[in-house]
Amino acid sequence: MTNEELTELIKDISLNVFHKPFAHAGIFNARLRTTGGRYLLRSHNIEINPSSYEKFGFKELEGIIKHELCHYHLHLEGRGYKHRDSDFRNLLRETGSPRFCSTIEARAKRKSAKRYVYACLSCNTNYVRKIRMNTERYRCGKCAGKLSAAQNQ
């Protein structure tokens, strides 16, 4: 699906569900990682995460568009368009729009965080850290023994 087809789909949903025109652009944005879509306040465009469409199909895409159109129409009307506003929640209910989209396992693509393991030379207590530390500067919390870097995980 292209951006032009997405814009046409958004216009159709806007007219059929909200009975109001959508006069801006719908854009696929692959840089969105943790959300299915977003409404841009300045340009009034709606951005959609293409992976949510690919992974969950048309029904999910339609739900995301309806959710973002709730933000769109309420913002243009000067009413409460934020998630916590009662106007927004009421419009979600009236239009059958979802409050949340399906989870997009975005963090799975990222590298797993490095882990650093340090061991006390006296009592053999292990310390697992996300950030490297200077073993000359720190001591064991149990026995105040000297620390050394163990194998990294």
Which residues carry out catalysis?
Answer: 68
Q: State the residue for tokens 């073993």.
A: 135
Residue type, 131: I
Q: Helical H runs in the chain?
A: 3-13, 50-56, 58-77, 86-95
| Neighbour-count burial of 105, counting CB atoms closer than 10 A to its CB (0-12 exposed, 13-18 middle, 19+ buried) | exposed
Residue pair 59/81 in contact (Cβ under 8 Å)? The answer is no
3-state secondary structure of 113: coil
The closest alpha carbon to 130, from 105, 106, 152, 107, belongs to 152
